[in-house]
A and B are shown apart, each in its own frame.
Chain A
């Protein structure tokens, strides 16, 4: 048959083949390692951020409740928070003739849903008036629903269960394309975390709420831990709304805060399959959960026990031992926190979920006990990223379903949904949205994920420059500028508080000399701030860098007339409150000096977006968009 190998001796052919295969497998293993540590970086930074978030949430709440605006505009008697959360009067909102988006009429019909899908595919926005009307109606319908919805498969073919979507509209549209739109014959349960991170959280909510209104018995929503306005401040949903709805975002968010608190907590199918967002704890009591007033727990910090403490109480531990009678409100808050935040683990027992700062880790024994108590067969939950879109644990009893593909980055993971038939056997459907028509090969995909992960990590490194420098200096007793790999790794881990394989990452982060020592300052060489600033206080600049996104939200809250400007005084005051809440020590007039040196004053006002832009970390070697990336 004319192939060249026939003329070779078999022996040398096989030897060559083995050699090539050895190399190939080696290369693939290295790729797999890079893929793993990239995902590890993303996840560690995400969870670490969630911890920071709790500290800041107290500040946000404090600010919203107590700060007064020096010039409160029309009504000087109203506090900032009242102005902020005024009930929207929808009738006063006009829809201009120039608006060509969907015009909803209530009660909604399938035509309205189709109009919405069509509009969002074409990247149109739904007008604020209809958004507010939709949210009002949704709240009204949700209030009638129990905390735990009971469904039966008896009259429908299959029920589809979807997990976290996190603002990925493409995934929702793909699910509807593959699996059909919701209807009486095609029932859906969406298991929380509809918003944050992705750029179409608003559109996803609008679609889900619209279908909820049209088919209230066939589309079910469970609350996730991201249906919480404090999380939204940090993870992008608040920002998305403020950009899309410049005039009405505060009203929309206020109404949403209420709507979220009315989302049901769980769904049970055929009394056998429990579906909820996070997980369970050893004290989870479904009867108690069904009876409590779910709308009283609006967000993770919504309990006085948290507000008065500096450290958040962990999942299943009792707050500082007191002899006072058990506080029912505390128990309610804890039960809800557990089901929204817990994660399954393979070890037995129930321990506080230190990674997340809420809920617990629950083992197979906890699952077995709950199942025995309530005669259950399966637990379907979401809340955790899974590379394949789903994962089965606890001996088949617990299923994690995650529906946001490419969650961290293009190519990072698949999404999936579950089809449950009347026998309650799950069938998994996986998918992955792809921007590219040609499917990238593994090497390219790993390259993309890896560069995005490393970029995030380098920004974190830069934002902790002062702390890292002094940690390194402690190991560098001779002042040579070099330390051992071991010392470098220990310093990185202790300052950044991220459990990562630092030795594996070292070549990407820092230079090493031929003697095997690390030149520790080299990790800052390729990073700099957006604008050159006369950094009188590097530590101050770093703090601004680290909290840039949070400050942006805070300033937007203060900026009543949406001008992008706040007064110098407001700026100073906010900054002082902010740093004192976080326990950061700064010289009294340091921020004033910094602002003056940057010279962003405009008639005693500061353009805060311009100001914050200066603290955006820029990677010197970053290629401009449009040029090809090396992988």
Chain B
């Protein structure tokens, strides 16, 4: 029914707006473009970096704002559609486990670093943090079974 769908859309829009507001430091409906990935993910989506950029391109479709800020009015319709279409769903844990297992179940520190620079490379800070948390300092090995709960817990 139309009204039920409207209610769902309204609730989604509210959810997005509130998440947006957490990053809206001056309460003027804009956020720094670099925070958009964070906002999308905190709404429960699992995009990779390329997909985040794709969404941003949709938001900034009229290239008129070089200031590096994204306005809520432009972000809202794009993000609402993402949530309605249920895009970028979380990857199930067992798939993640399989990913680790395909790397022979453990990763040596140097392989972790290699991994960090593959795919969509981590920044220096991301890599250091991952190494700090994930790699056992004594054995220099990432035991994925220990690390997995830390990735998955919320």
Contact = CB atoms under 8 A, between A and B. Distances in A.
A18 B151 contact: no
Interface in B102-132: 102-104, 107-108, 110-111, 114-116, 118-120, 122, 126, 129-130, 132
A372 interface: no
A17 to B, nearest CB: 4
Interface stretch (A8-16, A171-179, A534-542, A613-621): A8-16
Contacts of B39: 29
Contacts of B104: 4, 8
A14 B114 CA distance: 10
Contacts of B103: 4-5, 8, 13, 16
A317 interface: no
B21 A19 contact: no
Contact of B99 (A16, A345, A442, A499): A16
B14 interface: yes
Contacts of B150: 27, 443
B11 A36 contact: no
Given A13-B118, A501-B21, A20 B42 contact: no
B48 A33 contact: no
Given A5-B103, A33-B42, A504 B126 contact: no
A322 interface: no
A37 interface: yes
B22 A20 contact: no
Given A443-B150, A486-B11, A22 B19 contact: no
A423 B49 CA distance: 42
B102 A346 contact: no
Contacts of A14: 118-119
- Which of A24, A345, A503, A504 has the most chain B CB within a 10 Å cutoff? A24
Given A36-B23, A441-B132, A503-B15, A20 B108 contact: no
Given A36-B23, A501-B22, A20 B102 contact: no
Interface string B7-39: 000010011001101110010100000000111
A29 B119 contact: no
A503 B108 contact: no
Contact of A442 (B23, B129, B151): B129
A18 B119 contact: yes
Interface string B76-99: 000000000000001100011001
A485 B18 CA distance: 13
B151 A27 contact: yes
Contacts, number: 123
Interface string A497-530: 0010111100000000000000000000000000
A443 B19 CA distance: 20
Contacts of A13: 102-103, 115, 118
Given A4-B111, A33-B38, A502 B18 contact: yes
Given A25-B37, A441-B133, A40 B96 contact: no
Interface residues of B, number: 49
Contacts of B126: 24-25, 28
B154 interface: yes
A503 B18 contact: yes
B41 interface: yes
Contacts of A486: 11, 14
Contact of B119 (A3, A21, A499): A21
A27 B89 CA distance: 14
User: What is the interface of chain B mostly: helix, strand, loop, or mixed?
Assistant: helix
B118 A346 contact: no
B48 A504 contact: no
A16 B99 CA distance: 5
Contact of A25 (B15, B19, B41, B96): B41
Contact of A29 (B18, B21, B41): B41
A374 interface: no
Nearest to B115: A17
A629 to B, nearest CB: 15
A5 B114 contact: yes
B111 A5 contact: yes
Contacts of B28: 345-347
Interface string A431-443: 0000000000111
A620 to B, nearest CB: 23
B38 A3 contact: no
- Which of A8, A347, A504 has the most chain B CB within a 10 Å cutoff? A504
Contacts of A345: 26, 28
A26 B46 contact: yes
A23 interface: yes
A486 B22 CA distance: 17
Nearest to A28: B126
A30 B108 contact: no
Contact of A26 (B18, B41, B110, B132): B41
Nearest to B112: A20
Given A19-B95, A441-B133, A30 B22 contact: no
Nearest to A7: B104
A39 to B, nearest CB: 10
A485 B15 CA distance: 11
B14 A30 contact: no
Interface string B124-154: 0010011011000000000000000011101
Contacts of A3: 108, 110-111, 114
- Which of A29, A30, A499, A504 has the most chain B CB within a 10 Å cutoff? A29
A32 interface: yes
B41 A8 contact: no
Contacts of A29: 37-42
B50 to A, nearest CB: 9
A503 B104 CA distance: 40
Contacts of B46: 22-23, 26
19 contacts: A3-B111, A12-B102, A16-B102, A16-B103, A17-B118, A17-B119, A18-B48, A19-B91, A19-B96, A20-B115, A22-B46, A24-B151, A25-B37, A25-B48, A26-B41, A26-B90, A27-B150, A486-B14, A504-B18
Instruction: List 5 tightest A-B contacts by C-beta distance, closest first.
Output: A29-B41, A18-B119, A17-B119, A33-B42, A16-B99
Interface of A: 3-5, 8, 12-30, 32-33, 36-37, 40, 345-347, 441-443, 485-486, 499, 501-504
Given A23-B152, A24-B151, A33-B42, 20 more contacts: A5-B111, A13-B102, A18-B119, A18-B120, A19-B96, A19-B99, A21-B116, A25-B37, A25-B48, A25-B49, A26-B46, A27-B151, A28-B126, A29-B37, A29-B40, A29-B42, A30-B42, A486-B14, A503-B15, A504-B22
